[in-house]
Structure formats: structure tokens, C-alpha cells
Structure 1
Amino acid sequence: MSDPATTGTPVRRRYRFREYHMTAVVDPMSLPIFEAVCVTGEDHDCGVTSGELHAEEELTRWIAEHCAETGHDFYHCTTRATLRAEPGAWQ
């Protein structure tokens, strides 16, 4: 193959990937984490955050309260959980 630095043409490579089967299992000993950030605003996002909560109902309550106080109605929500990978076989 030619060197793109000297010839100006890109080097083409072909990659072949095998499929790897894996199962991700939620760790029952850890609590999930829910968090929301208010993104309502014209010039810039409100940016107020719920902080880390451990129940989806708490997050819903926080959003409802913030919406009632401010009238803001757009949020980015994140859910995180600790997972354990259980490897499978290459295919």
C-alpha cells in the first residue's frame, strides 16, 4: 500500500470483526442512579440539576416541582446502573 504522506492518496484498509456475545446483568447489590438537568431556555439552558437520586419516583417528583415553580418543561435525564458483564462466545 502507498504512504498517504508521500502520495497524497489515502490508504484503504479492510477490517473484519467477529461478533462477541455478552450479557450485561444489573448488580442487585447496587442502587440505580437517576439524574435530570433542566434544559429549558432560549439564550441558555436553565441548568438546574436534580442531583443523584435513587428512585425514578423521586426524579419524577423533582421534575414536577421544578416545572411547577418555574414553568420549565424540557429536561435531559440520565439513568445509570452498575452492570456485571457475563462473557459469551466469539461468533
Structure 2
Amino acid sequence: MSRTAYRFVDYVTRQDPTGELSWSAVCVSGDEADCGAFSGETDEETAVKWMAEHTRDTEHTRYRRTFVDYATVEPKA
């Protein structure tokens, strides 16, 4: 009979500084249904500019923003 020893390791996640970040926004203004206009994945500055221009053109003021990054998983020290 053999014995098995299990070693448990705690991990931590960190933002990967080498990964490219991206932002997007979807217009969720509307009475009956969401507008649905989408900025596409872009950088933060462009996403903010897109929301401002969409508000200017449509008077819509409510958006769902998404931020995407890359992460690494490392053993906790």
C-alpha cells in the first residue's frame, strides 16, 4: 500500500503588465428597449470620447462599460 501526500498551494492573481488593456461601451438608454449602440473594443480615451459623442448625437446618457485586462496566477508568497 502506498501513501499519497497532497500539498495545497494558495494562489494570487495579478494584472499582467505586458497585456494590452481594452474598454468598450454599450448604450443602454431607451424606454422600450436598449439603444444597443456599441463602441467596439478600444482604448479608454476613445471609449469615453465615443460615449460623449453618442450622448451629443442622441441625448442618451446611460451606458454599460466593460474593461478587459490580462491576469497572471502565481503561488502566494
Of 60, 70, 74 in structure 2, the residue corresponding to residue 82 of structure 1 is: 70
Of 20, 23, 27 in structure 2, the residue corresponding to residue 34 of structure 1 is: 23
Count of aligned positions: 69
Matched letter for residue 27 of structure 1 = D
My pick for the range that moved more, 40-49 or 26-35, is 26-35
- Asked if residue 56 in structure 1 is aligned to residue 41 in structure 2, the reply is no
Stretches of structure 1 that go unaligned for 5 or more consecutive residues are 1-19
Residue deviations 1:29-85 (CA, integer Å, cap 9, x gap) = 2211101100000000000100001x2111111100100010000000010101001
Identity of aligned residues (%): 38
TM-score (norm 1): 0.68
Structure scoring higher RCO (CA < 8 A, sep ≥ 6) equals: 2
Distance 2:63 2:75 in 1: 35
- Asked if residue 44 in structure 1 is aligned to residue 33 in structure 2, the reply is yes
- Asked if residue 71 in structure 1 is aligned to residue 59 in structure 2, the reply is yes
1:88 offset after TM fit, Å?
2.2
| Aligned residues: CA RMSD | 1.6
Structure with the greater alpha carbon radius of gyration: 1
> Where do 4+ consecutive residues of structure 1 move more than 6 Å?
none
